[in-house]
Every structure is written in structure tokens, then in C-alpha cells.
């Protein structure tokens, strides 16, 4: 026995105490995260979270709060003890989760109340996004806003009756006392009534539908709403705290490609210019933080999420293809460098996140300590001035490096100086890295790397994407038994709709059509419910239906995009019918509030009108209209067993018709019936007009498909 203390206000059996002692002893190089240490540095307390693998749960394994992990066992214990559940939901790199832990969950007074009157439960939102989403909706219904940490009080059957987010300790103690007293006193019926109303709303609201509607005007309305929200001075769509809102940017750029709407294009590009210059962008190490607390993108909340790297890489790749700005290409390259250097496992899979907090020079946890640069630590005057380190710091820890938007910068000189700073910074204590390998988040990153590799002719990025896909399938597959994540070499949780949709889109970006189709079919088979696709059918109160696209696209929207892209790449009448039915089921809500589901709206346009971007996969042919500084190259990758044959009736003996460009034709391969165009065809182009129209007809040895015509908008 290690002599661990029983948490205050808690009771536990001798058998459980032994089990927890043994679980702690089995951890190698484990560093307890708590103030409650004995003289030898060992923890005074341990709770059931010590048996978990989630870095977030392990962070709380030595709180005096006697935490249980989320699950049926905790709810059953609450029912047996006739106590309410206190559920705290967060994630490993969440700054305000750390603050609430410091103030309350590692406090003996708070722990005594929680342990004596509640069943305290911790949940990693990244491990169970379905449970997280259900209770985030409850908090939103009660307060019209929500976030993390999410604090929810539940009946023993899982229905919530009171919610909140971060509570300072005095307020938290007051709320705990009032609920504990009300539970034992005369308010049980009141709690039951609120729980019934909330649970009913949580089931009803996501499932609400509107009569099917035409979506013809929805894109224009969505753009009008976004342009109205657009911050013309600083970019973005807020007058305060700024999030990248990548879905807005991708939708606006797609809309410009379809319509030529300059306002949509300019809102997206202006936002990306300011983000690339601001402190949101980690200028020293590459990659992007999750958001900034100010309107001019200067002061980040320093956590770095894999999904932000993926979605912003896609945004900057698309923006480069439109505008050809060096800062856009640089943002993509530096983001890829960061992910491949700091966020990649030995087998090639990608880790989840890095924390906002790290140790400062005094050994105290401080938000941004790893990232700030006091001016005296940078000897190069030009570098210090270029990074605006002389400006008054907006953080106590020190200044955040940022560029002046629109200013001319010698990037070669800057990047040389930044690399020296990065090497020096790496000697500082690094923030915690969350080493979970989440299938869906990896899918987002794999797609971004594969698309960037194609756009910038960087085969090493494409190879890294393919290696990551193989690693994820090894860890989490096969598809029919797909798990959501890998922790410490152990598969955990069943894959949800987002995991299958995002990995399916990743497979499609790599040209793995069969695997993409299998992912789509698995998603349809597992998550269909009443004409919709649920994130999961097994949420705490039944199927979890998503109501909007948030920081990441919803699983339902992404599944629709996968189905739409597959309809062009590998047409299947049954799959298309299901995609059309899903559009119909969503159309009423999309028509009412299109800006809430931009990814679904964009996907519906792909299904109806085809893709509009610089890369298209149509049957056996993939087209990539790639920018090469001032000119462009059209790459056609023709699948094995297929070719484009110049018909005898064509005087120029060429299999393609191109309008809207000047072109230098290469020599074709000679075949028995004339010139044959197969494998990869690279055509240098110079724009001549507003659009490029390309027509062709693919043939196999025994048959030909119908002719195809696509159109690209020239920047």
C-alpha cells in the first residue's frame, strides 16, 4: 500500500483503494498534477481517473475530488446513492478548464462538498463528442451560450437540470450548496421538472424539421449574412473575440468560384491576410492557435488544435490558388512543417493538440509562456521591429510576435531569424501535447496535406498524408469495426459519423475511391435515422443530431459532401438517391438559416452542380488546375486502364477541348489507332478570359463513358 489518503467527504472500499494503488504504481514516469503532494513528491490522493488513458482525465487523477469517468457505472452509483451527478466536461488543452481545476477541483473545501453530496464525473469531450454535444445543447438552452469547461448537474438517469460553464470558486461553492440542500429538501420535484423539460427539448430541437424548400436563393442569402457580419478593418466576422471560422471562408471562396461574387472573395481573402499576419499565427514555430481574445488577431488563446491546422491549411491552399500571395503559400508550408515536426507520431499518425499553458521561468503554469518574446531576448533589431515586439504587450507574460498586415516583408530574411528563435524556444518547457490519435481529426489533416501536396507540387506532403492514413487504419480499422481514437496503443470508443465522414474525405483526397465509398456506406448503414444522419445513435438521451456546423463541420454536412464528391468520382444510383434524400431532409432548415449549415449548403451545391474548386475527380480522371506563380498548369491524372484517345474525326488529333486559355500542347503517346493520352497529362496554361472550359471523353479498352465538360473560374 502507498498510504494514499481517502478524498475528503468520500468513502471507498478497501478493494477499490488497492486497485487504485496498483494503477498508480503501474504508471511509469508519471508526474502528478496537483498541489496536494507529500514531502517525497508523491500524491496524497488518487481517484478512478488514474485507470484512464485520456490525458485530460489523467490531469485530474490526483484531485481531492473523487472523480469517476463517464459511463453507466457512474450513473448507476448515483441512483444507488440517491445523489445527483456533477458532470464536468473539458479537454486536455483547455485553459479555463485548467483555471477551474486550480481554483476548485484541487481545493479541499470544494472536494468535500462534491464528494459528500454528488457523484462527480469527468468527461473528455474529444473522447466522447456525442455526450459533449448533448450537454452543450443543454447549457445553450438554459443560458443561450456554452463552452468549456461545461458544468452540468444531472439526475441519476442522465437528464440535466442545471448547467453552467466556468464558475469562480465562491460562486461554485454557493451553487453546490444550494443544489445539495435542494436535493435533500423540498426541491427534488423542481429539479425533476426542469430535467424533464430540458431532456424533452434536447431530443426535440435537433430533430425539428421544416417542409422541404428550394435552395436556389440560400447561397446568396448566406453570403449577404456573412458580408454583413464581416469586419472590414480586421477581417473575420466579429467585433470582439475572433475565431478563424474556416467554414465561412471555404464557403465564400467556393461561392466566388461559382458566381464571381467579388464581395464574397474579398471577405475571405482579407480575413486570411490578417490571420496570417496576426498573433493567431505562430510566427516562430508555424501553425495556428485556436482563437484570439482581441479583434485584430493579435493576442491568441494559445492552444493549438489539429483540426484548426487542417482547416486553415485548406483555406490558405484555396486562397493561394485564387490570389497567388506569397504569405498564403508560406502559411501553408509553415503549418505543414509544424504538424509534421511536432504533431506526428512515429508511425505517421497525427496527435490532437498542444496546451495553451506551460511553465514560465519561475516554474509556474502560465498561459502563453512558451510563445511570448520579451524584446530583450531578441538581439536582431530588424527582426524585433518586424515582429512588433516593441509594441506594448497585451499579456503579462510578454509580447506576442505579429506582423503588420499588408506591410512588405523580406520573408527569406525573416524566416532565417525565426528558425533561430524556434531553436531557442525549443529549450523552454513545452506545453502539454495531447497524444490522442483521433480518427476524424486525422482525416481532416490528411485531406489538407493531400490537397496542399497537389496544389504546390509537394509530393512529400502527399506521401505524409498517405502514411498517416495507413497508420490510422492500422490503429483504428478495419472500416466495419472502426474505432474513434487510439490512446496508449488501445482502441477506444466506436467511430462516430464525423470520424467516418472525415476519413472518407481523406481517402478520396488520396484517390482511394474504394475505401472512401466503404466509409460512406458504413456511415449510411450505422447512423441513418428518420431521414437524417446522427452523430451517433447511442447518445445519453438517444440519437445525437447536429444542428449546425461549428468549429468543425458537422458529421452530417461532411457525410453529405462525401456522398456528393463520390457521385462524381464513382457514381452509384443508390448512394445518390440517399444523398438527395438527405438534402431534402435538411433543405427546410437550410433555407430558413443557411449561415448555420454552410458546409451542408456547399455540399448540396456539389451534388446539384458539381464541384467548383481547383481540383476535381470525375470518374477515372482527376483534374488539378495548379497555380505556378503568374501562370497555371492543368494536370490530368488518368486512372490505370483508362485513356483519352484522339478521335480520327479530330483534325488536331487532341482529346481535350480547352476554351479560355492559351496552351502549349505536349506530344502524345503513339497508339495503334492514333495518339493516346494516358497516365498524367500536364498542360501549361495562360488565362485568356474569365473562365476555363475543359471537355473530354474517357475510354477503356472496351467502352467509353459519356463526354464531360467542366468549368474553372480564372482568378
pLDDT tens readout for residues 87-120:
999 999 898 999 999 999 999 999 999 999 999 9
In this predicted structure, the answer to whether residue 655 has a pLDDT above a threshold of 80 is no
In the structure, what pLDDT confidence band is assigned to residue 629 with cuts at 50, 70 and 90?
confident
- Please state, in angstroms and rounded to a whole number, the distance separating the CA atoms of residues 502 and 440: 5
In this predicted structure, the answer to whether residue 648 has a pLDDT above a threshold of 80 is no
In this predicted structure, the answer to whether residue 197 has a pLDDT above a threshold of 60 is yes
Backbone CA torsion sign across 201, 552, 595, 235: positive
The DSSP string of 262-308 is HHHHHHHHHHHHHHHHSTTB-TTT-SB-SEESSTTS-SEE--EEHHH
Q: Which residue has the higher pLDDT, 158 or 361?
A: 158
Quick one: which of 444, 497, 433 has its CA closest to 469?
444
Q: Summarize pLDDT for 521-543 with one digit per residue, the tens.
A: 999 999 999 999 999 999 999 99
In the structure, what pLDDT confidence band is assigned to residue 411 with cuts at 50, 70 and 90?
very high
Identify each DSSP E strand in 416-515 by its residue range.
433-434, 437-438, 483-487, 490-494
Is the separation of the CB atoms in 46 and 24 below 8 Å?
yes
Q: Residue 510 — φ and ψ, nearest 5°? A: -95, 0
In this predicted structure, the answer to whether residue 668 has a pLDDT above a threshold of 80 is no
Q: What is the pLDDT of residue 467?
A: 98
- Please state, in angstroms and rounded to a whole number, the distance separating the CA atoms of residues 525 and 418: 49
Cell digits of residue 432: 502539454
- Please state, in angstroms and rounded to a whole number, the distance separating the CA atoms of residues 283 and 275: 11
Burial (CB < 10 A; 0-12, 13-18, 19+), residue 111, is buried
Q: What is the pLDDT of residue 511?
A: 96
Q: What is the pLDDT of residue 649?
A: 46
Cell digits of residue 474: 492500422
- Please state, in angstroms and rounded to a whole number, the distance separating the CA atoms of residues 81 and 75: 10
Is the separation of the CB atoms in 344 and 278 below 8 Å?
no
Superfamily of domain 615-713: Thiol:disulfide interchange protein DsbD, N-terminal domain (2.60.40.1250)
- Please state, in angstroms and rounded to a whole number, the distance separating the CA atoms of residues 248 and 270: 13
Q: What is the pLDDT of residue 391?
A: 83
What is the end-to-end Cα distance of the chain in Å, rounded?
70
What are residue 122's DSSP bridge partners?
A: 69, 88
Residue identified by cell 502528478 is 32
Q: What is the mean pLDDT of residues 179-188?
A: 92
CATH topology for 14-207?
Glutaredoxin (3.40.30)
**CB-side exposure of 409: number of CA atoms within 13 Å?**
26
- Please state, in angstroms and rounded to a whole number, the distance separating the CA atoms of residues 176 and 110: 9
Burial (CB < 10 A; 0-12, 13-18, 19+), residue 635, is middle
Q: What is the pLDDT of residue 466?
A: 98
Is the separation of the CB atoms in 93 and 129 below 8 Å?
no
Cell digits of residue 263: 464581395
What are residue 712's DSSP bridge partners?
A: 692
The CA–CA distances, whole Å, from 534 to 134, 440, 441, 524, 539 equal 12, 15, 18, 10, 10
Q: What is the pLDDT of residue 1?
A: 40
Residue identified by cell 470508443 is 493
- Please state, in angstroms and rounded to a whole number, the distance separating the CA atoms of residues 542 and 532: 14
In the chain, what's the furthest Cα-to-Cα distance?
Answer: 92
The CA–CA distances, whole Å, from 582 to 61, 297, 461, 590 equal 43, 37, 34, 12
- Please state, in angstroms and rounded to a whole number, the distance separating the CA atoms of residues 693 and 698: 16
Q: What is the percent of the chain with per-residue pLDDT over 90, rounded to a whole number?
A: 80
- Please state, in angstroms and rounded to a whole number, the distance separating the CA atoms of residues 402 and 277: 6
Cell digits of residue 369: 509562456
**Parallel, antiparallel or unpaired: strands 490-494 and 353-354:** unpaired
In this predicted structure, the answer to whether residue 468 has a pLDDT above a threshold of 60 is yes
Cβ neighbours around 25 below 10 Å, total: 11
Cell digits of residue 284: 516562430
SS3 346: coil
In this predicted structure, the answer to whether residue 355 has a pLDDT above a threshold of 50 is yes
Enter the DSSP assignment of 531.
T
What are residue 434's DSSP bridge partners?
A: 353
In this predicted structure, the answer to whether residue 70 has a pLDDT above a threshold of 70 is yes
Buried b / exposed e over 346-355, threshold 16 CB at 10 Å, is: eebbbbbbbb
Q: Summarize pLDDT for 15-37 with one digit per residue, the tens.
A: 898 999 888 988 888 889 898 99
Helix (H) or strand (E) holding 87: strand 85-90
Q: Which residue has the higher pLDDT, 525 or 644?
A: 525
Q: Return mean pLDDT, the chain.
A: 93
Cβ neighbours around 7 below 10 Å, total: 25
Enter the DSSP assignment of 527.
H
Q: Domain locations in the chain?
A: 14-207, 230-448, 496-611, 615-713
Q: Summarize pLDDT for 222-275 with one digit per residue, the tens.
A: 999 999 999 999 999 999 999 999 999 999 999 999 999 999 999 999 999 999
Q: What is the pLDDT of residue 617?
A: 96
SS3 659: strand
Cβ neighbours around 470 below 10 Å, total: 15
Q: What is the mean pLDDT of residues 487-493?
A: 90
Q: What is the mean pLDDT of residues 482-487?
A: 95
The CA–CA distances, whole Å, from 299 to 382, 400, 678 equal 22, 7, 51
Q: Which residues contact 564 (CB under 8 A, 6 or more apart)?
A: 579, 603, 604, 606, 607
In this predicted structure, the answer to whether residue 650 has a pLDDT above a threshold of 70 is no
Cβ neighbours around 478 below 10 Å, total: 10
Tally of residues, the chain: 715
In this predicted structure, the answer to whether residue 167 has a pLDDT above a threshold of 90 is yes
Quick one: which of 469, 552, 570 has its CA closest to 510?
469
The CA–CA distances, whole Å, from 89 to 74, 98, 166, 339, 496 equal 15, 12, 11, 27, 19
Residue identified by cell 452540468 is 152
Q: What is the pLDDT of residue 605?
A: 98
The CA–CA distances, whole Å, from 612 to 415, 523, 569, 710 equal 34, 25, 14, 9
Quick one: which of 500, 505, 468 has its CA closest to 484?
500
Q: Which residues contact 310 (CB under 8 A, 6 or more apart)?
A: 441, 444, 445, 447, 448
Amino acid at each position: 500500500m502507498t498510504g494514499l489518503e481517502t478524498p475528503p467527504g468520500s468513502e471507498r472500499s478497501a478493494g477499490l483503494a488497492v486497485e487504485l494503488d496498483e494503477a498508480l504504481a503501474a504508471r511509469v514516469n508519471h508526474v502528478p498534477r496537483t498541489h496536494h503532494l507529500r514531502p517525497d513528491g508523491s500524491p496524497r490522493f488518487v481517484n478512478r481517473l488514474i485507470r484512464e488513458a485520456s490525458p485530460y482525465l489523467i490531469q485530474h487523477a490526483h484531485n481531492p475530488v473523487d472523480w469517476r469517468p463517464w459511463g453507466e457505472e457512474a450513473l448507476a452509483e448515483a441512483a444507488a446513492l440517491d445523489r445527483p451527478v456533477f458532470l464536468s466536461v473539458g479537454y486536455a488543452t483547455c485553459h479555463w478548464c485548467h483555471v477551474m481545476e486550480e481554483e476548485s477541483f484541487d481545493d479541499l473545501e470544494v472536494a468535500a462538498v462534491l464528494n459528500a453530496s454528488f457523484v462527480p464525473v469527468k468527461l473528455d469531450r474529444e473522447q466522447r463528442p456525442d455526450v459533449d454535444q448533448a450537454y452543450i445543447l443543454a447549457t445553450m438552452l438554459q443560458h443561450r451560450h456554452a463552452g468549456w469547461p461545461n458544468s452540468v448537474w444531472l439526475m441519476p438517469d442522465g437528464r440535466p437540470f442545471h448547467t453552467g460553464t466556468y464558475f469562480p470558486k465562491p460562486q461554485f461553492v454557493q451553487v453546490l450548496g444550494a443544489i445539495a440542500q435542494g436535493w435533500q429538501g423540498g426541491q427534488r420535484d423542481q429539479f425533476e421538472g426542469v430535467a424533464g423539460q430540458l431532456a424533452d427539448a434536447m431530443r426535440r430541437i435537433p430533430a425539428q424539421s421544416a417542409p422541404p424548400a428550394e435552395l436556389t436563393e440560400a447561397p446568396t442569402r448566406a453570403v449577404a449574412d456573412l458580408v454583413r457580419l464581416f469586419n472590414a478593418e480586421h477581417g473575420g466576422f466579429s467585433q470582439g473575440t475572433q475565431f478563424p471560422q474556416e467554414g465561412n471562408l471555404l464557403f465564400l471562396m467556393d461561392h466566388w468560384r461559382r458566381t464571381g461574387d467579388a464581395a464574397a472573395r474579398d471577405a475571405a481573402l482579407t480575413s486570411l491576410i490578417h490571420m496570417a499576419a496576426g498573433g493567431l499565427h505562430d510566427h516562430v514555430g508555424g501553425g495556428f492557435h485556436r482563437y484570439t481574445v482581441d479583434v485584430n488577431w493579435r493576442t491568441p488563446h494559445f492552444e493549438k488544435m489539429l483540426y484548426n491546422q487542417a482547416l486553415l491549411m485548406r483555406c490558405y491552399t484555396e486562397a493561394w490558388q485564387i490570389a497567388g500571395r506569397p504569405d498564403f503559400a508560406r502559411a501553408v508550408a509553415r503549418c505543414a512543417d509544424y504538424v509534421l515536426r511536432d504533431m506526428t507520431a512515429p508511425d505517421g499518425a497525427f496527435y490532437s493538440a498542444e496546451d495553451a499553458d506551460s511553465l514560465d521561468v519561475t516554474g509556474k503554469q502560465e498561459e502563453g509562456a512558451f510563445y511570448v518574446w520579451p524584446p530583450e531576448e531578441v538581439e536582431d533589431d530588424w527582426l524585433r521591429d518586424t515582429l512588433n515586439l516593441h509594441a506594448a504587450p497585451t499579456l503579462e507574460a510578454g509580447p506576442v510576435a505579429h506582423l503588420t498586415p499588408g506591410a512588405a516583408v523580406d520573408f527569406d530574411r525573416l524566416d532565417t531569424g525565426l528558425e533561430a528563435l524556434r531553436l531557442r524556444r525549443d529549450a523552454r518547457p513545452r506545453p502539454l501535447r495531447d497524444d490522442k490519435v483521433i480518427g476524424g481529426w486525422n482525416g481532416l489533416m490528411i485531406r489538407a496535406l493531400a490537397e496542399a501536396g497537389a496544389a504546390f507540387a509537394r509530393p512529400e506532403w502527399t506521401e505524409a498524408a498517405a502514411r498517416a492514413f495507413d497508420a490510422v487504419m492500422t490503429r483504428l480499422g478495419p472500416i466495419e469495426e472502426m474505432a474513434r481514437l487510439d490512446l496508449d496503443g488501445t482502441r477506444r470508443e466506436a467511430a462516430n459519423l464525423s470520424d467516418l465522414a472525415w476519413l472518407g474525405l481523406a481517402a478520396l483526397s488520396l484517390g482511394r475511391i474504394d475505401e472512401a465509398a466503404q466509409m460512406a456506406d458504413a456511415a449510411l448503414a450505422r447512423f441513418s435515422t428518420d431521414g437524417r444522419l446522427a452523430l451517433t445513435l447511442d447518445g445519453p438521451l438517444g440519437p445525437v443530431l447536429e444542428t449546425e456546423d461549428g468549429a468543425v463541420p458537422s458529421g452530417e454536412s461532411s457525410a453529405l459532401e462525401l456522398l456528393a464528391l463520390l457521385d462524381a468520382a464513382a457514381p452509384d444510383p443508390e448512394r445518390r438517391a440517399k444523398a438527395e434524400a438527405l438534402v431534402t431532409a435538411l433543405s427546410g432548415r437550410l433555407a430558413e438559416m443557411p449561415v448555420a449549415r454552410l458546409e451542408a449548403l456547399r455540399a448540396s451545391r456539389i451534388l446539384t452542380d458539381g464541384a467548383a474548386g481547383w481540383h476535381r475527380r470525375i470518374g477515372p480522371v482527376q483534374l488539378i488546375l495548379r497555380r505556378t506563380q503568374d501562370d497555371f498548369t492543368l494536370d490530368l491524372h488518368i486512372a490505370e486502364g483508362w485513356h483519352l484517345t484522339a478521335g480520327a474525326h479530330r483534325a488536331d488529333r487532341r482529346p481535350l477541348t480547352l476554351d479560355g486559355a492559351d496552351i502549349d500542347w505536349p506530344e502524345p503517346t503513339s497508339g495503334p489507332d492514333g495518339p493516346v493520352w494516358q497516365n498524367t497529362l500536364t498542360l501549361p496554361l495562360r488565362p485568356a478570359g474569365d473562365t476555363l472550359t475543359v471537355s473530354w471523353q474517357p475510354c477503356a479498352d472496351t467502352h467509353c463513358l459519356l463526354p464531360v465538360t467542366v468549368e474553372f473560374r480564372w482568378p
